[in-house]
Chain A
Amino acid sequence: MNAVDLHSGDDLRELYRELILDHARNPRHFGKIDHPTHTAEGINPLCGDKLRLSVRVDRHGNIADASFEGSGCAISVASASLLTDMIIGVPVAQALTCFDIVTQRLTAPDVDHERDIGIDLSKIKALDGVREFPSRVKCATLAWHALRSAMHGQTAPVSTE
């Protein structure tokens, strides 16, 4: 029984790593930014996660600033916080490549995720524990879906249901 507890505890610790808990408790870039050029809302009706992502793209096509507002579970908030951390200062095209990599990383573990796109992806590895919890993948990808939706100029809220 102890061994089982230890094992299941490990899975949970993988899911709720220190970095995830830190970003969930102290989300970076939380709030509004000035003059956003792109915004999108992400809704996960299953657990009531609701995030609004705002991005300002400069005239060179780089993401000059990004933020998010809303509420959600630890996984969705931490993922949104990591996202904003990663995409600020990055060209839009690269940020969208991040979307592909993150969603593949969480849903198709066999794909080679280590390709170099010129962005530090190390923090995203903190979300790897989500793979063992299929019902939580939607939480982890919510902000990323909102990013893609914002960049594609969609106005309807995106849902990961």
Chain B
Amino acid sequence: MTQLQKCDQPQVADCRQDFPALHQDVNAHALVYLDSAASAQQPTSVIEAVADYQREDHANVHRGVHTLSHRATDAYEGARDKIQSFINASSRSEIVLTSGTTESINLVAQSFCRPRLDPGDKILITHLEHHSNIVPWQIVCEQTGAELVVAPINTRGELDIDAFYSLLTDDVRLLAIAQVSNALGTVNPLRDIIPRAKSLGIPVLVDGAQGVPHMPIDVQSLGCDFYAFSGHKMFGPTGTGVLFGKESLLDAMPPYQGGGDMILEVSFDGTVYNDLPYKFEAGTPNISGVVGLGAAIDYLSSVGMSRIAQHEGQLLAYLMQKLGEVEGIRLIGTAAEKSGVQSFLVDDIHSHDLGTILDHQGVAIRTGHHCAMPVMDFFGVSGTARASLALYNNAEDVDRLVEAVEKARQIFA
């Protein structure tokens, strides 16, 4: 109990009661959910906001003169305003609603990069990236003859900063970099990197999927040109996501997809595209999901992102300490700057076997390659077990994890 008190600010730990999914038994044990980096649970306020919208306000947006369509439009556009304020974008025109980080990055690859890439041009990424910040660039490089350059990492899972700067040259047409590594938890030094890139005139896309749920985000102070993130990792519904883009860049980009809602006027002689951000939102959007995302932002704001970051930072330190004490453990990802993720392996137990044994004790973790196969290759493993933290986790969750890992060691002893 003393450790619990030491690690948890009472108010942040209290958040746990707002998440109904956390209060159930799994395999006859109280659930310990340590897989929020894959997808976070939703608070009651999000679940209710989506249900209320479906029950009372649903209609198509931006179309009808009738009351429900107005309500739906207000709810949908209201969420956009919340997102703008949450990440401190200077205009609501800079908030493009997508299906998730993946679509946001593909949009930039195809709409921003593809028209302006020539053979020999470079796109710079890092060895830490999630597949969704690798494959869209491989595709656009294949389409244009541009070259994908990968900055190396060290054995702690940190960007090799000298090597990185030597690769950040003026033939790089875009730097695409994760704020936080999903597999290792490494926080990249964006405060140093982005000004350096900007001084060379290189546009920067930040994959913020693992950043937004865990720390305060200010895209203006960060100075990036694009910032991509997902709703379901920040306690909102799946199928929602955001692309922040600087207005001047978005304005100059062609549409990503054609369809309804992204046009002002259509004739067979040609089409006039709609204004930002609607130019990039073809078709009926995920209205209820976006309403839920708005509610998730309200929830996060009410708790306070700085307090969440502090709570998770303390809990991560406890997690790393307790896991580190387990005999036969290998912690993978030991960067000096980390957010709430710890990958590990125990003895010679395959991560999938570990995952099954932990699940049997009610402990949910992710096992496998975490959609970051190059990171796994770097560490010479096929996969890892990964525990990831969110605001609702506490020291007891960590203790249960460690107990379950010890049980796995007994079974494989």
| A contacts, CB < 8 Å to B | 4, 7-9, 11-13, 15-16, 21, 46-50, 71-75, 133, 135-136, 139
Q: Give the residue among A11, A21, A74, A136 with the most B Cβ atoms within 10 A.
A: A74
Within the complex, the shortest CB–CB distance from B356 to chain A, in Å, comes to: 6
Which residues of chain A have C-beta atoms less than 8 A from B28's C-beta? 4, 7-8
Q: Mark B10-54, 1 if CB is under 8 A from A, else 0.
A: 000000000000000001110000000000000000000000000
* Contact of A8 with B27 in the complex, beta carbons under 8 Å: yes
Q: Is the CB of A75 within 8 A of B353?
A: yes
Other than A47-B383, A75-B353, give 15 A-B pairs with Cβ distance below 8 A: A4-B28, A7-B28, A8-B27, A11-B360, A46-B352, A46-B368, A47-B382, A48-B383, A49-B382, A50-B382, A71-B382, A73-B352, A74-B349, A74-B412, A136-B352
Which residue of the partner chain, among B27, B29, B353, contacts A74 with CB atoms under 8 Å? B353
Which residues of B from 343 to 374 have beta carbons under 8 Å from A? 349-353, 355-357, 360-361, 367-369
- Kindly state the separation between the CA atoms of A72 and B412 in the bound complex, as whole angstroms: 15
Q: Knowing A4-B29, A47-B367 are in contact, say whether A73-B350 is a contact too (CB < 8 A).
A: yes
Q: Could you list 6 A-B pairs, sorted by A, with CB under 8 Å?
A: A12-B411, A16-B353, A47-B368, A49-B382, A133-B356, A139-B352
Residue from B355, B356, B360, B368 having most chain A Cβ neighbours under 10 A: B356
B350 close to A72 (CB less than 8 A): yes
Query: A136 vs B355: C-alpha distance in the bound complex, in angstroms?
Result: 11
Contact of A48 among B353, B360, B369 (CB under 8 A): B369
Per the CB 8 Å criterion, the residue count for chain B at the interface is 22
B324 to chain A, nearest CB (A): 24
The smallest beta-carbon distance between B348 and chain A, in angstroms, is 8
Partner of A47, one of B351, B357, B407, B412: B351
Residues of A within 8 A of B369 (CB): 48
Most buried by B among A9, A12, A48, A74: A48
| B376 nearest in chain A by CB position | A48
Query: Chain B: interface secondary structure?
Result: mixed
Residue of A nearest to B352 (CB): A47
A72 to B407, CA, bound (A): 21
Q: Which chain A residues border B350 with CB–CB below 8 Å?
A: 47, 72-74
Chain B residues near A136 (CB-CB < 8 A): 352, 356
> Are B368 and A48 interface neighbours, CB within 8 A?
yes
For the complex, give the distance between the alpha carbons of A49 and B367 in Å. 12
- B376: chain A residues at CB < 8 Å are 48
Q: A4-B28, A16-B411, A72-B350 are in contact. Are A48 and B356 (CB under 8 A)?
A: no
Residue of chain B at shortest CB distance from A8:
B360
Closest 9 CB pairs of A and B: A47-B352, A48-B382, A73-B350, A73-B352, A48-B383, A4-B28, A74-B353, A73-B353, A8-B360
Choose among B361, B382, B412 the residue that contacts A8 (Cβ–Cβ < 8 A).
Answer: B361
Bound: A75/B352 CA distance, A: 9
Q: Which residues of B contact A16 (CB under 8 A)?
A: 353, 411-412
Q: Which of B352, B361, B368, B412 meets A21, CB within 8 Å?
A: B412
Partner of A13, one of B368, B382, B383, B411: B411
Query: Closest CB of chain B to A141's CB: distance in Å?
Result: 14
Chain B contacts for A75, CB-based, 8 A: 352-353
The CA-CA distance from A4 to B26 in the complex, in Å, is 12
Identity of the chain A residue whose Cβ is nearest the Cβ of B408 in the assembled complex: A12
Residue on A nearest B349 in the bound complex, by CB: A74
Q: B368: which A residues are within 8 A, CB to CB?
A: 46-48
Measured between alpha carbons, how far is A71 from B368 in the docked complex, in Å? 13
In angstroms, Cα B382 to Cα A46, docked, is 11
What residues of chain A lie closer than 8 Å to B357, measured between beta carbons? 12
Could you tell me the distance in whole angstroms from the C-beta of B22 to the nearest C-beta in chain A? 19
List of A residues within 8 angstroms of B353 by Cβ: 16, 73-75
- Specify the chain B residue showing the minimal Cβ separation from A135: B356
Min CB gap B192→A, angstroms:
34
Question: In the complex, which residues of chain B have a beta carbon less than 8 angstroms from the beta carbon of A139?
Answer: 352
Could you tell me the distance between the alpha carbons of A56 and B410 in the complex, rounded to whole angstroms?
39
Instruction: Return chain B residues, CB-CB under 8 Å to A133.
Output: 356
A74 surroundings in chain B (CB, below 8 A): 349-350, 353, 412
Cα separation A135 to B351 with both chains bound (whole Å): 14
The smallest C-beta distance from A13 to any residue of chain B, in angstroms, reads 7
Q: Compute how far the CA of A9 lies from the CA of B27 in the bound complex, rounded to whole angstroms.
A: 11
